[in-house]
Amino acid sequence: MSDKFDVVVIGSGPAGYVAAIRAAQLGLKTACIEKWKNSDGKGVNGGTCLNVGCIPSKALLDSSFKYHEAAEELAIHGISTSGVAIDIPAMLDRKNKIINQLTGGIAGLFKANGVTALYGTGKLLAGKKVELTDNEGAVSVIDAENVILASGSQPIAIPVAPVDNDLILDSTGALEIGEVPERLGVIGAGVIGLELGSVWGRLGSKVVLLEALDDFLAIMDKAIAKESKKIFTKQGLDIRLGARVTGTEVKGREVEVTYKTSAGDELKETFDKLIVCVGRRPFTEGLLSADSGVDVDERGSVFVNEFCATNAPGVYAVGDLVRGPMLAHKGSEEGVMVAERIAGHKAQMNYDIVPNVIYTHPEVASVGQTEEEVKAAGERYNVGVFPFAASGRAMAANDTDGMVKIIAHADTDRILGCHIVGPSAADLTQQVAIAMEFGSSAEDLGMTVFGHPTLSEAVHEAALAVNGSAIHIANRKRR
């Protein structure tokens, strides 16, 4: 390819396609390479997130929740239902239509913004050259002033549970299960395991989650993790902590799983399907030539500075490929930051305020520091908690599980963290993230007028509770 580009992006997931669009908006001649193909063999954008990650899993979560609500939860509202059934092929078809609509939307955005879409595999060579092997196998070399690596991540495989995407599935295969398994095993009780377990648990599967760690949701605030486990257990998820899987054996159309407990006991469990959800790792296979000049650590993460620049001049890396949480929104903002810096703007990103969400029902969401982190740092702090059981709006919706927890510095009252398990936790946490971005105090949030009746009033009350002035619950004694 003879043309020279100001920016070549390798990967069109949330980090890559956003970087490409923003770069083009800023007047930079931009190309974006994507290797993903749809079921028809056509190149499509969106990466893992749109094709087999965030979007399809949320589609299944929403469909399964509506089924569960219709089958189990409407009587309290005076609504009688009978003969409620789930059509799995129709549910999967809806998911696929959403994927097609959104991936097609990116193609439209590329066209509208002047991004050159290239379909095939990109490899960074020395001197900011990119080798493109297109989907027909033709090889060409692209010259670039700047290269943004955004190849994303892939599921971690474990030898004791080899994935065949028939009986033993990874998170991609789990999105295509054609019928409700009677017994579903999930290795890993993290974000993906909980979400996929919730989907099939609502549809009737007996779900067992085997988590090697002794702590549930170890990255979350401990109070929120404890409350979340209580809620999910009440919903029927069998969460077994300290359960390290040591082997699997396929027997006919069943999978026998052997695991050891923290106490040293060896136990066995048989499932109709087994999903392996033990995390993800950066996808760098074939991405870098030996002389590309880009350093990668033992986990495959590309070394970058605070502005996502690698040690190779003019080469950047964003999203799941670099340090930090593997979150689509984190990658998107990194993509914007890099595009703007290439264009000469002094863009930066606040890594202290990146929300984290688990899209179960209720949702689990957090932003900022946990109480444990604040305590470990030796900071003096105050905590405000408000339960959704005391929310009039949550009561009206029959959705009262969970709570809001806000942590603020004891001396400055600046908000340090917000942690929520409850209805619309993702959106409520985002309200606090905005406040934190502007350096707000708990008092600032407490003085803000919130609409009534809304779920967001729980955030308001938790902020008031930080300083012992909550109205709709008894205030805790100050330390």
Does 58 show up as a binding residue in the annotation?
yes
Helices (H), 371-476: 371-376, 392-396, 425-437, 442-446, 457-466
Rounded to whole angstroms, the Cα distance separating 398 from 401 reads: 9
What is the residue whose two structure tokens read 């690596």? 149
Does 327 show up as a binding residue in the annotation?
yes
Does 190 show up as a binding residue in the annotation?
yes
Does 186 show up as a binding residue in the annotation?
no
Rounded to whole angstroms, the Cα distance separating 294 from 148 reads: 12
Does 204 show up as a binding residue in the annotation?
no
Rounded to whole angstroms, the Cα distance separating 80 from 1 reads: 64
Does 410 show up as a binding residue in the annotation?
no
Does 193 show up as a binding residue in the annotation?
yes
Does 286 show up as a binding residue in the annotation?
no
Rounded to whole angstroms, the Cα distance separating 15 from 331 reads: 4
What is the residue whose two structure tokens read 């033993």? 168
Which one of the listed residues 77, 452, 460, 472 is annotated catalytic? 452
Does 92 show up as a binding residue in the annotation?
no
Rounded to whole angstroms, the Cα distance separating 386 from 391 reads: 9
Rounded to whole angstroms, the Cα distance separating 203 from 267 reads: 27
Count the neighbouring beta carbons within 10 Å of the beta carbon of residue 468: 12
Of 320, 246, 311, 247, the residue nearest 279 (C-alpha): 320
Does 194 show up as a binding residue in the annotation?
yes
Does 207 show up as a binding residue in the annotation?
no
CB–CB of 155/52 below 8 Å?
no
Does 124 show up as a binding residue in the annotation?
no
What is the residue whose two structure tokens read 């800023």? 26
DSSP letter at 309 equals B
Does 365 show up as a binding residue in the annotation?
no
Rounded to whole angstroms, the Cα distance separating 282 from 267 reads: 33
Reduced to 3 states, what is the DSSP secondary structure of residue 240? Answer: strand
Does 320 show up as a binding residue in the annotation?
yes
DSSP letter at 184 equals E
Note if 452 is an active site residue: yes
Rounded to whole angstroms, the Cα distance separating 214 from 261 reads: 9
Does 435 show up as a binding residue in the annotation?
no
CB–CB of 368/375 below 8 Å?
no
With a CB cutoff of 8 Å and minimum separation 6, the contacts of 427 are none
| Pairing, β 363-368 against β 238-241 | unpaired
Q: Which residues are annotated as a binding site for FAD?
A: 58, 122, 320, 326-329
Catalytic residues: 452
User: Residue positions in the annotated binding site?
Assistant: 58, 122, 188-195, 211, 279, 320, 326-329
Annotated binding site for NAD(+): 188-195, 211, 279
